[in-house]
């Protein structure tokens, strides 16, 4: 029998369950994801830094965790080099797993990174609570109690962003990737597309670099924490080089443009978010993981909403009326989730090519 642990929420809710992964305590913001597959991708997504993740899909761990493989020093398998979540909450953990590329169980993998997991939890009840009351602070408590802790008060981006500048690949387009906690699949998507990638830390003044296009990555927490990035970005917006932002990158673009962002009640974390390309009948199913969004009403006149969420009408991306600047709140790079919008990388590089041609 597994050891007993409990999940404690800031509203006083206490749920008992069984431990898997590391038998330890951890605190963070409790959020839920309704994705049915992709826990190896999710758990290594830096955007989840500081969060205790509740998975609504009830059986987790079925296909184990694959072994690591590297390509150009980046992971071919995972979305970063470590697990970023603070803790994992599931209904049922499948200790035995079966898959041709599994190297270990989910529990062993969590334990490797000292991340606690709890199962035997009525995750639907918990999700409904989070839906109604909004994302809350919480903790998984093993033996030693820990205090509640709000990760949004910290600069999480600074914690997950790399220290130095790295170069990847060779190609005709030189793209700067401002890494606020990028998923490696974004890098992979670029490297498949004739790109030389310069990956810089979140606060790096990339305006000093020679590049053809600028990319703003996803990342954790409140975008307003990234003051340095916003300042650099404001400079880039004065120029005409194409800019593409994803998730946090979209929020940063909105802030740099002069708009505002706000915290969603319980965020969008799933593989089934419907978005519509504004002014068309064209819709896409997208992968999402964010707690903040751009407030479209606050955008300056020369900025428009590019995509709209069909469920709640929130902003799913913005674009500049005349310059090649655009962003998506969702994840065109998927991993995990649907791959229907990966063409946006092509669109971006086309804009880069057009910019270069016109220069």
Partner 1 sequence: MNKPNKVLILGSGALKIGEAGEFDYSGSQALKALKEEGIRTILINPNIATVQTSDDIADDVYFLPVTPYFVEEVIKKEQPDGILVAFGGQTALNCAVALYRGGVFEKYNVRVLGTPVQSIIDTEDRDIFKEKLDQIGVLTARSEAVTTMEGALAAAERIGFPIIVRAAFALGGLGSGFANNMDELRTLAQKAFSTSDQILVEESLKGWKEVEYEVVRDAFDNCITVCNMENFDPIGIHTGESIVVAPSQTLSNREYHKLRSIGIQTIRHLGIVGECNIQYALDPHSEEYRVIEVNARLSRSSALASKATGYPLAFVAAKLSLGYSLAELKNSVTQTTSAFFEPSLDYLVVKLPRWDLGKFSGVQREIGSAMKSVGEVMAIGKTFEEAVQKGLRMLDTGRRGFVANKPEPIDLTKLDTLLSEPNEERIFAINEAFQAGYDVERVYELTRIDRWFLQRLYGIYQLGQQLAEKRRQGGLDALETDLLRQAKKMGFSDQQLAVQLLGSAEVKANEMLVRARRKALGVVPVVKQIDTLAAEFPAQTNYLYLTYHGTENDLEPETDKSVVVLGSGVYRIGSSVEFDWCGVNAAQTVNEEGYKSIIINYNPETVSTDYDVSDRLYFEELSYERVMDILDFETPQGVILSTGGQIPNNIATRLEAAGAPILGTAAARIDEAENRHKFSSILDELGIAQPRWSELTTMEAIYGFVKEVGFPVLIRPSYVLSGAAMNVVSNVPELEEYLKLAVDVSAEYPVVVSQFIQDAKEIELDAVADQGEIVSYAISEHVEFAGVHSGDATMYYPPQRVYVGTVRKLKVIAEKIARRFQISGPFNIQFLEKNREIRVIECNLRASRSFPFVSKVSGHNLIKKATKVLLGQHVERDASELVYDLPFVGVKASQFSFTRLQGADPVLRVDMTSTGEVGCLGDTAEEALLKSLLSVGYRIPEKTVLISSGPLTSKVALLESAQVLVQKGYTLYATHGTHSFYAENGVPSTLVYWPDELQEPNALTYLRERKIDLVINIPKNTTKGELDNDYKIRRTAVDFNIPLITNARLAKAFIHAFTTLKLEDLSIKSWKEFKAM
Which parts of this chain interact with partner 1 (CB under 8 A)? 15, 32, 34-38, 40-41, 56-59, 62-63, 66, 91-92, 94, 96-101, 122-125, 127-128, 131, 270-274, 276, 281-283, 285, 310-312, 334-340
Closest approach of Cβ 13 to partner 1, in Å?
11
Listed residue (20, 48, 36) closest to 248, CA to CA:
48
- To partner 1, the closest distance from the beta carbon of 137 in angstroms equals 20
Please tell me the chain's helix, strand, coil percentages from 3-state DSSP, rounded to the nearest 5: 25, 35, 40
Residue 227 annotated to the active site:
no
Rounded Cα distance, 274 and 280, in Å:
14
Q: Which is nearer to partner 1, 83 or 252 (CB)?
A: 83
Count Cα atoms within 13 angstroms, Cβ side, for 16.
4
- Our answer to whether residue 290 is catalytic in this structure is no
Residue 273 to residue 286: CA distance in whole angstroms: 5
Per annotation, catalytic residue among 29, 308, 316, 333: 333
Residue identified by tokens 């993998």 is: 109
Count of all residues that appear for the chain in the document: 359
Rank residues 101 and 239 by Cβ distance to partner 1 and give the closer one. Answer: 101
| CB closer to partner 1 out of 80 and 232 | 80
Active-site position among 180, 226, 247, 315: 247
From the CB of 278, what's the least distance to partner 1, in Å?
12
Q: Which two tokens stand for residue 59?
A: 């059986």
- Secondary structure (3-state) at 338: coil
Q: In angstroms, what is the minimal distance from the CB of 196 to partner 1?
A: 26
From the number of C-beta atoms within 10 Å of its C-beta (0-12, 13-18, 19+), residue 249 rates as buried
Q: Which is nearer to partner 1, 31 or 111 (CB)?
A: 31
Query: Catalytic pick from 84, 290, 320, 331?
Result: 331
Catalytic residue status for 331: yes
Q: Which residues are catalytic?
A: 247, 331, 333
């Amino acid at each position: 029998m597994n050891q007993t642990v409990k999940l404690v929420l800031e509203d006083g809710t206490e749920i008992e369950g069984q431990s898997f992964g590391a038998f330890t305590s951890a605190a963070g913001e409790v959020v839920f994801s309704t994705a049915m597959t992709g826990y190896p991708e999710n758990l290594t997504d830096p955007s989840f830094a500081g969060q205790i993740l509740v998975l609504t899909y009830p059986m987790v761990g079925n296909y184990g965790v694959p072994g690591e493989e590297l390509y150009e020093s980046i992971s071919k398998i995972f979305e970063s080099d470590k697990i970023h979540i603070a803790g994992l909450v599931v209904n049922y953990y499948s200790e035995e797993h079966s898959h041709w590329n599994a190297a270990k169980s989910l529990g062993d993998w969590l334990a490797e990174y000292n991340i606690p997991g709890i199962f035997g939890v009525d995750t639907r009840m918990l999700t409904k609570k989070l839906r109604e009351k909004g994302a809350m602070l919480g903790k998984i408590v093993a033996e030693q109690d820990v205090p509640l802790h709000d990760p949004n008060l910290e600069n999480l981006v600074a914690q997950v962003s790399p220290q130095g500048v790295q170069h990847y690949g060779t190609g005709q387009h030189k793209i700067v990737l401002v890494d606020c906690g990028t998923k490696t699949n974004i890098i992979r998507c670029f490297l498949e597309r004739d790109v030389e990638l310069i990956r810089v830390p979140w606060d790096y003044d990339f305006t000093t670099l020679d590049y053809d296009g600028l990319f703003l990555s996803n990342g954790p927490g409140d975008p307003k924490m990234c003051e340095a990035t916003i300042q650099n970005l404001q400079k880039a917006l004065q120029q005409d080089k194409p800019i593409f932002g994803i998730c946090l990158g979209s929020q940063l673009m909105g802030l740099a443009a002069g708009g505002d962002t706000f915290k969603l009640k319980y965020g969008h974390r799933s593989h089934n978010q419907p978005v519509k390309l504004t002014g068309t009948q064209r819709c896409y199913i997208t992968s999402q993981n964010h707690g903040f969004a751009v407030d479209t009403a606050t955008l300056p006149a020369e900025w428009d909403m590019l995509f709209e969420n069909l469920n709640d009408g929130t902003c799913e991306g913005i674009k500049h009326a005349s310059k090649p600047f655009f962003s998506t709140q969702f994840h065109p790079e998927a991993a995990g989730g649907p791959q229907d919008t990966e063409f946006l990388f092509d669109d971006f590089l086309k804009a880069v090519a057009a910019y270069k041609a016109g220069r």
